[in-house]
Amino acid sequence: MIKTRAKYNLGQVVKHKKHPFRGVVFDVDPEFANTDEWYSSIPEDSRPVKDQPFYHLLAENDQSYYVAYVSEQNLVADYSGQPVEHPDIPDLFGPFEDGLYPLHFQLN
pTM: 0.91
Residue type, 93: F
Listed as ranges, residues in the chain with pLDDT below 70 are 1-4, 105-108
Q: How far apart are CA 53 and CA 46, in angstroms?
A: 16
Give me the pLDDT at residue 3, please: 57
Give me the pLDDT at residue 104, please: 75
| Short-list 26, 27, 12, 21, CA closest to 79 | 12
Q: Which residues contact 92 (CB under 8 A, 6 or more apart)?
A: 26, 58, 101, 103, 104, 105
